[in-house]
Amino acid sequence: MENTFIDNPGIAALLVRLFEARFSPHLDSGADRELSSKELIEEIRRRLDDVASLDQDRILRSYLTLIQATLRTSFFQRGSDGRPKSYVAFKLDPQAIPELPAPRPKYEIFVYSPRFEGVHLRFGPVARGGLRWSDRREDFRTEVLGLVKAQMVKNAVIVPVGPRAASC
């Protein structure tokens, strides 16, 4: 996957600029931010038409989709020492990510640090649930989605939008 970005540095740079335009606290908010994002998205889409490899096109479009589906992030937060934090979280709108398998939760929060990765899936604005340690590094999201679906069926009368989270 890294070769996709190496082979397409212009698009990679535009994706970074789009992420910054949407989430950097150092940029103006409001209409300017929205206009800048729209212009960047249009330019990225124009350049995607010139990507020769179908696989690379798919990867780059997926990154564009993920950036557009991101609702919030902790990426720009600093620790008390002023340095970037050693972890990052992304709150996503799964409904805006067509590649995700159904059922798609209302919210998905992905957390990454050098020590662990985790995901929190929630089918409603308010839900109860818990954490689970998973040894399934490659598909812990699939495990969590299965748990959420089971909880929704089992607890349909009690709490129909139960969340689940896992990390490894």
State the pLDDT at residue 37.
Answer: 92
The yes-or-no verdict on residue 158 having pLDDT over 60 is no
User: With bands split at pLDDT 50, 70 and 90, how would you rate the model's confidence at 114?
Assistant: very high
pLDDT at 84: 95
Q: CA distances (Å), 1 to each of 51, 55, 101, in order?
A: 14, 9, 21
pTM for the whole thing?
0.82
Mean pLDDT of 15-26: 94
Query: Given a cut of 70, is residue 168 above it in pLDDT?
Result: no
**Distance (Å) of CA 32 to CA 38, 71, 72, 115, 128:** 10, 18, 18, 37, 38
